[in-house]
Amino acid sequence: MIIFKPDWIVHGETSQQKGKQCIYSLDVHPDGKRLATGGIDTTVKVWNTDPIYDEKAEADPQCHRLLCTMTLHNGAVLCVRWSKDGRYLASSSDNDNVVIIWELDRDASSGAVFGSTDVNHETWRAVKYLRGHASDVQDLSWSYNNQYLASCGVDGFIIIWDARTFEQIHKINQHTGFVKGITWDPVSKYLASQSDDKRVKIWRTSDWQEEAQIEEPFHNAPGVTFFRRLSWSPEGSHIAAANAVNGNQCVAAIINRDNWDSDISLVGHTLPVEVTSFNPKMFYLRTERRKGSMSGEDDASASEATALTNGKDKVDSDKMDADPEPEIVDVCALGGQDRNVSIWVTCRSRPLCVAHDLFSNNVYDLAWSPSGHELFACSQDGTVACLQLEKELGPPVPQDEVFRRLEQYGYGRKHAMLPETPSQLDLENQLTKDVKSTAALPRLESLMSGSQREISIGSSSSSINGSGAANPIEIKEKSPSMDVDVEPVRGSQQFSSSSSTNTASTTAQEQKVTITKSGKRRIQPVAVVSSHRPSLSNTSLSFASAGAANHLHTGSLPGASGSGSMHAPLSSAARRSALETIDYAQPTLDGKGIPSLARGNKRTARDTDDVDNDDDPMALHGPGPARRRPKWIDNAVPPPITAQIHLGIPKVKSNLLHRIQGKHTAVMECQNLTTEPECTKLLLSKDGQEVWTDYLPHAIMLMTGNLRFYAVACEDASLVVYSPSGRRLLPPIILESTPVVLTSNEQWLLCLTECGFVYTWDMKEQRNHLAEVSIAPLLRVAQLAHSDDDNDMHVGPSLKEVRIQANGTPLVMTSYHQAFAYHVGMRAWLRISDAWYILSEFWGSGAADDSMDSHPLGWLSSALTKTGVTDPTHDSIKSLARMSDTMAATITLSHIENQLAACMVLESPNEYRQWLKFYVRRLAQDNAQTKVQELLQWLAGPPFLSLEQGQQWDPNILGVLSKQEILRELLPILAQNRQLQRITTDFGSLM
């Protein structure tokens, strides 16, 4: 065994007088390349593990040791834990009583930490603050299926959080003391917690009620431990609990899952055990015995036998008799107040090895590397140690074997349903083949399937070695800095107790009988689809949506129209929209955009409006008391004849420039002359060469153009349109008020005037598309009180973006995180994005690089993140979500349906196809048979769909997507839920 103690892993400022500051917790990233630590200095730090393993990397100045320092906690950081997929880092503290969820910001550049000399080569930003504890949060644990995050604290509470939305799911308050440790069952059926009330409690995840309570080994346990961190074995059969007592010995208790007894103890520490940690891997361990010795004999003279046969250590064949096959063992590490770290295996009654006096103070946390060959430990003395066990442990057991052992506890076959027809199996296999044959999924496809993009240190924005790639880990033998005893001990496959001679080992057959026969095993019928079912996760089609914003910046993701904290910061240039480059005059609002004043439509409340009239024959609620009507819901008054909307007018500038990108960059330039007589010069140049010039009698305020035409808006409320060669296509277009927005796309020209009217023209056909369409409904005039005073106007939301789609559809975004599109056929504004969907798992899932034309919803989502002002209803929406556990899931489904409808309005077939796939996965997860049936009937058409006389069925969606082809793609996805197999079989016959 080799021990490393890097002196550069520290927290706080070190000095000879004060020494190093305490490190309370540490954890290794699932990729093994990062180490997170939390200390008394209130910071969370992320370290590179390459310099720990490799001397060359440690000496390389281009290989950064400290990757990031996070400083948002207000108290000592007591626990840090990586999510199982490595996407999030959770940290908790003892003063602000909050759990912070961190996520890597891939677009951020390196920068100095405020108030420190540290440099962040990676940027981990806080995406969620989980508030629910009333005091110190002592321990955290992510479930193995990434469905839950559990936290516990000295307030005696255990809080279960949804690992996808981070909403609180349940709060357990049945401990009577400080809860100081928590761990999940690998099958995700149970949660174990340990408290100062000298109990370990097991909780069922089906109803969050108590399954068992273990007290015996903790009756006389001292109450001096800062933590009681317990751990569950990787195959699910044992729990190692800290701070137990056997007689007068401080031990770690091993709790058997079959009957929740604790007959086995790990004896050896002289002071209380603070932390236990099972190795995430199981190993093959080959033991050797002297001829004539009993199989269960623990003979000290056998210490010369090697614990591992790896081809290097040889013994005489006449002295040793090797077992025919190696044993499969669990490995567990203990750390305590005696400053020692011990490592145990299940087939021995003595520790595999002990590192004596590894620290100068208490051991507070332990963490294994993903490979299982490195163990990290941290101490109150402010140091971190790494124990490398290359020779002591044999080869790791394949993960399939671990899964096979977990199956006896229900892993992977919970609520299983058998296929009824061969076609059901064909559909399931078809989806598996399709996923394997796909080289690169689109961003939303991978997002929907829950697959996670691996976080690599060697990214362009967060390179460790300075060359844009992570250094390979090359571990070379070093001279151990401490003496370590490695004692070979013989025993059975189960944990052997050094304090009990009559402990019976339970065979696998007995375990199966116990699990299938025991009354404790409560099986409740629920939906077949499970987010941790291996058949789904193996095919990257898990219904878990914890990765709902993980693939936001790659490929061609059709984004959700919404915004959220999942976006990486954009550059200052990218943040500025087209409207923010224009200086608008009064009225003014906070933030940039077009300010607005609006006159309300609702009638002034009368005295009788505050009284409920139960005798009113027109009352809809019938006799009896009814809910008081909100005051803002009043009968509308006729629209005023005078202007209802007044928008900020662009200020006239002496010079304006407008660039049009294309094969040749064109630049429109105007010079508004203030001399007498006034005139304006308009000039267009390409690649620096003047193409044409024109003079106008009034100042130009706005300019737009593309490869088809150019247009300018003048101060006298006129528009002048030119051909690419400078020929006037029309006489000036005269409007009712001054233009405030002028934009174009393809053959379309849009103008928004100061009175709030939208005009659009098809310049190719020279015909009007929309005329005098008011944006008053977008500014919430229905909720503003009407006044007969023309000067009595209300400040409305500002306009953050006004655009026109390539199909001629106008888009308007306001500062309230809302986006609207005008439906020409319906002659109405449609709200295609709303702050109500802030609870959706896909709120803000667009990327800044999404194209306006190819992915309008993705572009819209990115643009909405820059609105600045938030809707005042956000807080009330979040309060409503806390009242219902299912509200977020329901709103997510509604959000997807809204996105599908928005794709139809914006004519975005690529995004429609991707959102439809996610919609189907969600329906399969919820077992929504009625909606599935309706959707498949619409796609399949006759004879599954009954049509009225004269009604025609369109075989295509948006003219380019074949419904039959879409149906063929969706059926294998639905087939993953076997409760829907009868529906999928019926429609599969059509294929």
Out of 294-303, 377-386, 914-923, least confident range:
294-303
Band of the pLDDT at 791, cuts 50, 70, 90?
low
Q: Between these two residues, 233 and 347, which has the higher pLDDT value? A: 233
Residue 26 has pLDDT above 90, yes or no: yes
The answer to whether the CB of 978 falls within 8 A of the CB of 419 is yes
SS (H, E, C) 317-356: CCCEEECCCCEEECEEEEEECCCCEEEEECCCCCCCEEEC
Residue 461 has pLDDT above 60, yes or no: no
Find the mean pLDDT for residues 897-913: 90
Find the mean pLDDT for residues 698-715: 93
Task: Give the per-residue pLDDT at 224.
Answer: 84
Task: Give the per-residue pLDDT at 500.
Answer: 43
B/e letters for 915-938, b = 16+ CB within 10 Å, e = fewer, are bbbbbbbbbbbbebeeebeebbee
Q: Provide the 10 A C-beta neighbour count for residue 849.
A: 16
Band of the pLDDT at 761, cuts 50, 70, 90?
very high
Band of the pLDDT at 514, cuts 50, 70, 90?
very low
Angle, nearest 10°, between helix axes 422-437 and 963-974? 100
Q: Between these two residues, 796 and 353, which has the higher pLDDT value? A: 353
C-alpha dihedral, 142 to 147 to 152 to 155, nearest 10°: 160
Residue 648 has pLDDT above 60, yes or no: yes
Task: Give the per-residue pLDDT at 740.
Answer: 94
Name the DSSP class of 686.
Answer: E
Out of 97-101, 277-281, 490-494, least confident range:
490-494
- CA 744, chain centre distance (Å): 37
Task: Give the per-residue pLDDT at 951.
Answer: 81
Task: Give the per-residue pLDDT at 524.
Answer: 42
Find the mean pLDDT for residues 434-445: 44
Reference 805, options 860, 745, 760, 764; nearest CA is: 745
Task: Give the per-residue pLDDT at 489.
Answer: 36
Residue 235 has pLDDT above 50, yes or no: yes
User: Model confidence over 169-228: pLDDT tens digits?
Assistant: 999 999 989 999 999 999 888 999 999 999 999 999 888 999 999 998 998 888 888 999
Q: Between these two residues, 89 and 399, which has the higher pLDDT value? A: 89
Tokens of 536: 């789904």
Band of the pLDDT at 854, cuts 50, 70, 90?
confident
Find the mean pLDDT for residues 96-123: 79
Band of the pLDDT at 490, cuts 50, 70, 90?
very low
Percent of the chain with pLDDT over 70: 68
CA distances from 194 to 133, 183, 341, 378, 747 (A): 17, 9, 21, 21, 69
**One-letter amino acid identity for 82?**
W
Band of the pLDDT at 765, cuts 50, 70, 90?
very high
User: Model confidence over 277-300: pLDDT tens digits?
Assistant: 999 999 988 765 433 333 333 433
Find the mean pLDDT for residues 115-127: 81
Tokens of 710: 């150019």
User: Model confidence over 594-640: pLDDT tens digits?
Assistant: 877 776 665 554 444 444 444 443 343 444 444 454 454 444 444 44
Task: Give the per-residue pLDDT at 989.
Answer: 75
**One-letter amino acid identity for 171?**
K
Residue 412 has pLDDT above 50, yes or no: yes
Out of 311-315, 397-401, 628-632, least confident range:
311-315
Q: By three-state DSSP, how is residue 788 classified?
A: coil
Residue 485 has pLDDT above 70, yes or no: no
Task: Give the per-residue pLDDT at 800.
Answer: 87
User: Model confidence over 525-554: pLDDT tens digits?
Assistant: 433 333 333 333 333 323 333 333 333 233
Q: Between these two residues, 573 and 382, which has the higher pLDDT value? A: 382
How many Å apart are CA 847 and CA 850, to the nearest integer? 6
Tokens of 169: 């799911």
Band of the pLDDT at 988, cuts 50, 70, 90?
confident
Task: Give the per-residue pLDDT at 662.
Answer: 76
Residue 307 has pLDDT above 60, yes or no: no
Q: Between these two residues, 642 and 57, which has the higher pLDDT value? A: 57
